[in-house]
Structure 1
Amino acid sequence: MNRYTQTVAQLLAAAALSLSLPAMAQMTMDHSKMGMAQATTGTAPAPGLTDGEVRKIDKENGKITIKHGEIKHMDMPPMTMVFNAKDKAMLDKVQVGEKIQFIVIQDAGKMVVTDIQPGK
């Protein structure tokens, strides 16, 4: 490679890198969604109580379907979804249609309810 070709190749490599940096920065910002804040900031917000309504209980499999409000510490909008219960005995204390407050965490890639309290 002659000196001119080498300089052009270096300039093209630098230009390609500068164009990719904004995309890389955007990817980092996207990780702050859905409970991944700890991956970029080093600390995750503490889980708090979330309002919800029990839609279905599957005691045998330790699952509960909850129509819930915003889960702030996970930056999750309101929706209805199935959660795993940390302790199946929690499911004996609630009924379908009941308003509750609950705490959910992400554990080994699963959404796990760790506490259920009567709703307010």
Structure 2
Amino acid sequence: MKQSIAVLMTFAAVVAAAPAIAADGMAGMNMPMQSSGASKPSDAALTDAVIKKVDLATGMVTLKHGALDNVGMPSMTMAFKAKDAAMAKGVHVGDKVRVRVENVDGVMTIVKLEK
């Protein structure tokens, strides 16, 4: 009987301590994360594209582009918001460019464009 009570008390102590152990988190654990090597848009790979249309009034640029792996988009023709007006003003229909597109606040946006 005494052994049963001792086992029961040990079990109760473990159950009572479980939330405190779980709440400890991972403080003090040194687990460095691996870098993907592309921390900024300027460091990321650019995709080949051709300018199909430029709408200066809306700041939209239509591109026929290769796969945009960073946003999971296959090759297609699609309109994108230019990050700034100067970017849209600097290109013309037919220009071959290299671009970086990112999802900025839910809008697919050209964040880098090179001729």
Q: Which residue of 2 aligns with 1:74?
A: 71
Compared CA separation, residues 83 and 60, structure 1 to 2 (3 A): same
* In 1, Cα distance between equivalents of 2:75 and 2:95: 17
Q: Which residue of 2 aligns with 1:85?
A: 82
**CA deviation after TM superposition for structure 1 residue 108, in Å:** 1.1
| Percent identity (aligned) | 38
1:26-79 CA deviation, whole Å, 9 max, x = no partner? Answer: xxxxxxxxxxxxxxxxx9884420110000000111100000001111221100
- Residue 103 (str. 1) matches residue 100 (str. 2): yes
CA RMSD of aligned residues (A): 1.8
Runs of 4+ in structure 1 over 3 Å off: 43-47
**Structure 2 unmatched ranges of 5 or more:** 1-34, 39-43
TM-score normalized by structure 2?
Answer: 0.61
**Structure 1 unmatched ranges of 5 or more:** 1-42
Q: How many residue pairs are counted as aligned between the two chains?
A: 76
Q: Is contact 2:70-2:102 (8 Å) kept?
A: no
* In 2, Cα distance between equivalents of 1:88 and 1:106: 18
Q: Is contact 1:54-1:100 (8 Å) kept?
A: yes
1 or 2, which has the higher helix percentage? Answer: 1
| Residue identity opposite 2:62 in structure 1 | T
- The higher radius of gyration belongs to 2
